Chain A
Amino acid sequence: GAVVSQHPSWVICKSGTSVKIECRSLDFQATTMFWYRQFPKQSLMLMATSNEGSKATYEQGVEKDKFLINHASLTLSTLTVTSAHPEDSSFYICSAFSGTANNEQFFGPGTRLTVL
């Protein structure tokens, strides 16, 4: 199957700093990438939908100025957590969708963010 990578796999930062997480589709072009947030022992919460070359669409309750998403190419989307605080600590997962008839999303391995 298709491969999606995330970088970094984990990051620890101080409160007030910004953190950038990259999501790459390695062997296919992703028309759409999704960013999820997952709290311990909970399901995935969709944060935003990112389409190449256009502004991301954020889910209700997600602060667009806090979580900046850039989808610069068909293989790369980035999520920047700006001025991170301890409550932003979470597991962030991206997925890539090629828009084929299979309707399949391919998930990255996730990034564990810990804000001290």
Chain B
Amino acid sequence: GNSVTQMEGPVTLSEEAFLTINCTYTATGYPSLFWYVQYPGEGLQLLLKATKADDKGSNKGFEATYRKETTSFHLEKGSVQVSDSAVYFCALINSGNTGKLIFGQGTTLQVKP
């Protein structure tokens, strides 16, 4: 079946540090991959996405590359800010276009000034 595994948190970094949040997936076919961010008390916002192998999604300084050979979609940012503190979810939609998202367990990022 389809599944998503994220690195466990919380991840605590100092401002301007480099961020990596690992995400690997198991899926049949060719899924689309997503990173969502959830700020405290709010719903989910799409951060970035990639729909095919070797695609790089990017937004607000965050990047992730769809790696089919390693079934990974790691999230990176070169210099984090306190405002990036949130919970980050990696997710996939299977290629059947049913729209059903499979989420990872979420990784909490805390950025300290």
Contacts and interface: CB of A to CB of B under 8 A. Distances in A.
A31 B99 CA distance: 10
A105 B97 CA distance: 11
Contacts of B104: 43
B106 A43 contact: yes
B32 interface: yes
B43 A99 contact: no
**Chain A residues touching B, range:** 20 to 34
Given A46-B101, A103-B51, 12 more contacts: A31-B99, A34-B101, A42-B105, A44-B89, A46-B100, A95-B44, A99-B99, A101-B97, A103-B93, A105-B99, A107-B43, A108-B43
B89 A43 contact: yes
A97 B44 CA distance: 14
A112 B40 CA distance: 12
Given A44-B89, A97-B99, A1 B106 contact: no
Interface of A: 1, 6, 31-32, 34, 41-44, 46, 49, 93, 95, 97, 99, 101-110, 112
Interface residues of B, number: 23
7 shortest interchain CB distances as A-B pairs: A97-B99, A107-B44, A109-B43, A110-B43, A103-B32, A107-B43, A103-B93
Interface string B22-43: 0000000000101010000111
Contacts of A95: 44, 101
A99 B93 CA distance: 12
A56 to B, nearest CB: 13
Contacts of B49: 104
Contacts of B108: 41
B70 to A, nearest CB: 22
Given A1-B46, A107-B44, A99 B100 contact: no
Contact of B100 (A6, A34, A108): A34
